[in-house]
Amino acid sequence: MSLNSMHWLGPTLIGVILAGCGGSSGGPPPAGPEPPAPPPPTEPPGGGLDARPVNTTCVAPARPSGLGAIELERAFPALSFEQPLYLLQAPGDDARWFVLEKTGRVRVFDNQASVATSSVFLDLSSVVNSASEGGLLGLAFAPDFATSGRAFVSYTTFGPGGTGMRSVIARYRSPDGGLTLDPASEQVLLTITQPFNNHNGGGIKFGPDGHLYVAIGDGGSGGDPQDNAQNTHNLLGAFLRLEVDDDGAYEVPAGNPFAQNPRCAEGSGAAPCPEIFAWGLRNPWRFSFDRQSGRLWAGDVGQNAREEINLIEVGGNYGWRFREGFTCFNPATNCPAAGLVDPVLDYPHSDGRSVTGGYVVRGTSLPGLEGLYLFGDFISGRIWALSANADGEYGKSLLAATGLQVSSFGEANDGEIFVVDFGGGLYRIKPAGNAPADTIPASLADTGCVDPAVPSLPAPGLIPYRPQAPFWSDGAAKERWLALPEGTTIGLDGDGRMDFPAGSVLMKHFRRDGRLLETRLFMRHPDGVWAGYTYGWNEAQTAAGRITGGAQRETGGRAWLYPSEAECLQCHTAAAGRTLGLELAQLNGVLTYPATGRVANQLRTLDAIGLFSPPLGAAPEDIPSLADPNGVAAVEERARAWLHTNCAGCHRPGGPTPSDLDLRFDTALAAMAACRVPTITGSDLGVSDASLLSPGAPARSLIWLRPGRRDVHAMPPLGSLEVDTAGLDVVREWIESLQGCE
């Protein structure tokens, strides 16, 4: 194989191929001789199928629109950004938008739907520490920015000696009438040492009183006995309020609860910090002021079970770490209620796992939602409206299941609301019009993806597939099929992930003890958004009905979890390309094709029937293949394959977890951000000297310990009730074989 034949694979897969040809694999050699690979089967040149089957029935319909209240459309379709975290306009300037990229740049572009380019407004990438939840987190223009050129920025940087993390609040000036900000003009107001590199908060905004408000998380102390959010002698876990001066210094507003005390400009002090406006928060992520009432709304990200929305008031203590939402979090404290402010609303992790605060609707484009607070969830991609009943009790109504990683909302100067997708896009919210409320059939037999007479059989247009390293599903055996609309093909990216066209459907049967439990459909709707739907089988095994919102049922004396629509997208992450098992390394193995009875390589088969565009351009023998964790390959290959399948959907660059951990199979050991790296949250499970991966010591390795639990510390955190003991045995054996981190 020549390098010219591999250019389409990209550097990541090329590196793995070269490693297999004698280059370094990034890890130690396996103990003992490598077991011989099984001989490849003899197969016909064309693969396992004679032709692409015709599929006219199993095609994803229009996406359900929740309550039919809103739709999202790409606002600036020619633009995409690198991990965007915030969107805003400058006061009085409707002609431009500003986007914060996590890695340290503020980009600016014209407010035109056809805009195709953006420019750098401020570049702090050389000083920003964007590890985990850190990065360029907030930007606030002074109300008089048009004349003063002042703007305030919140970011995380490195601690002394280039290690650790600190939060910085600083003022910058524009040298050119507002076209850019000058990095050299920085005047630091506050620095706050972060105990860990998550729970940083970082939102920053001017309030209607003209003061600067800053939201700071508790520093990752979810299990820390120091309880930073309740310690008013530091600035962690709090909202701050500052009166900023023209030269970049600040005063303490007289109304702050501890205004008379010495300042905590370095993050802590001997007395309660006068900068504090309110406290008792875990990780306030995105806040806003209602432009009509002036009330301050905030989302506060939860720990184990609940997410919450708060109305922030001066002097309020919002209860963390005594309580999480309305529930008791730390029974050892007796969960006091006196003096604590309840959230307006909390919601369970079955709805989402990381709240993103939004805005009260005051624009004119959403008349049915005027005056309601819109907010979302980063993990589930859901967007809700918050409203109160006649008794003043708040509830939420689902407006849309977007399939996006909702990192922020943006409010235009005219009050219109936008959505920021961490994957790179910006979306406008508009009324849903006449979109149907639900387009997914209640019966599996009516989906077009199965034989209506015998719904346990696939429809004729479906193509079977099997991943090399199957995902653990509580001991269930699985059958899988894919379906593409006629005339469409599958694209391939540089990391070997398959990009399915709109209208595609992936179907999977789950069986245990020979009985069908569940069938899942994962659809890419015509608007390009992926969504998952599940069907539960009856006792007679004759029909399967749709289950919405998730469920747990007893089957054969064992419990089985049916995921909710939101939970489907929590595992099928955007960072992993949504489809998970549909990647080159996973399908580079043999399958028996029932239509022909042939045993053939899956990549060769799909390529031969014209499913890839462009064609593969390389033989399967020259493409990486994942090992079967229960097979005969070297233990390192099997363990890395298990971690890739079961963990790397989230634990990879751009993933939704507060960690730099990269568990993809082709990431070198030294680059995994795991070896001898302590847990970033301080949750070490009570294990002395624990790391994410401790060479030679599985009992001190969290990547082995946490998948072996089924409590609040479990990995994955949802979707499973039983531990994969065989898979963990492989991971344990690999960790025991490691001598170091190279």
Which tens digit of pLDDT belongs to each residue from 40-68? 445 566 799 999 999 999 999 998 755 45
Least confident of 192-196, 250-254, 332-336, 415-419: 332-336
- Res. 390 pLDDT band, cuts 50 70 90: low
- CB 10: neighbour CB atoms within 10 A? 14
* Nearest partner of 280 among 312, 327, 328, 307, judged by Cα: 312
pLDDT score recorded for residue 712: 66
Least confident of 19-33, 83-97, 328-342: 19-33
Q: What are phi and psi of 162, to 5 degrees?
A: 80, 15
Residue 485 CB partners (closer than 8 Å, separation 6+): 55, 59, 501, 502, 503, 504
pLDDT score recorded for residue 295: 92
Stronger pLDDT, 506 or 222, i.e. the higher one: 506
pLDDT digits (tens, 9 = 90+) for 284-294: 999 999 998 89
Q: Which residues pair with 98 in a beta bridge?
A: 88, 108
* Nearest partner of 520 among 503, 500, 544, 543, judged by Cα: 544
Strand pairing class (491-492; 498-499) = antiparallel
CA distance 335 to 313: 21
What is the secondary structure of 242-259 as a DSSP string? EEE-TTS-EE--TTSTTT
Q: What are phi and psi of 13, to 5 degrees?
A: -75, -30
Tokens standing for residue 725: 């003991």
**Are the C-beta atoms of residues 695 and 738 closer than 8 Å to each other?**
yes
- Res. 735 pLDDT band, cuts 50 70 90: very high
Mean pLDDT of 679-701: 83
- CB 547: neighbour CB atoms within 10 A? 17
pLDDT score recorded for residue 2: 28
User: Does the pLDDT value for residue 197 go beyond 60?
Assistant: yes
**Are the C-beta atoms of residues 168 and 191 closer than 8 Å to each other?**
yes
pLDDT digits (tens, 9 = 90+) for 67-92: 457 889 999 999 999 999 999 999 99
Residue 254 CB partners (closer than 8 Å, separation 6+): none
For the chain, report the end-to-end CA distance as a whole number of angstroms. Answer: 28
**Are the C-beta atoms of residues 320 and 328 closer than 8 Å to each other?**
no
Tokens standing for residue 12: 């990541």
Name the amino acid, one letter, at 109.
Answer: F
| Segments of the chain assigned to CATH 2.120.10.30 | 70-431
User: Does the pLDDT value for residue 657 go beyond 90?
Assistant: no
> What distance lies between CA 332 and its chain's CA centroid?
32
User: Does the pLDDT value for residue 247 go beyond 90?
Assistant: no
Q: How far is CA 667 from CA 249, 654, 684, 691, in A?
A: 45, 15, 24, 18
* Nearest partner of 428 among 70, 118, 64, 101, judged by Cα: 70
SS3 assignment, position 639: helix
**Are the C-beta atoms of residues 476 and 517 closer than 8 Å to each other?**
yes
Per-residue DSSP letter, 410: E
CA distance 437 to 68: 6
Residue burial 241-277, b: 16+ Cβ < 10 Å; e: rest: bbebeeebebebbeebbbeebeebbebebeebbbbbb
SS3 assignment, position 486: coil
Burial class (CB in 10 A: 0-12, 13-18, 19+), 56: exposed
CA distance 65 to 360: 21
- Res. 27 pLDDT band, cuts 50 70 90: very low
CATH class of 70-431: mainly beta
pLDDT score recorded for residue 469: 97
* Percent of the chain with pLDDT strictly greater than 70: 91
Residue burial 721-739, b: 16+ Cβ < 10 Å; e: rest: eeebeebbbbbbbbbebbe
CA distance 415 to 118: 23
Tokens standing for residue 71: 């739709």
Beta-strand ranges (E) seen in 436-556 are 463-465, 477-483, 491-492, 498-499, 505-512, 515-524, 530-537, 544-547, 551-555
- CB 109: neighbour CB atoms within 10 A? 20
pLDDT score recorded for residue 569: 80
Per-residue DSSP letter, 675: B
Residue 49 CB partners (closer than 8 Å, separation 6+): 463, 593, 595, 596, 605, 608, 609
Mean pLDDT of 567-580: 87
**Mean confidence (pLDDT) of the chain:** 89
CA distance 213 to 314: 11
CA distance 572 to 23: 32
Tokens standing for residue 278: 């309110």
Mean pLDDT of 517-545: 95
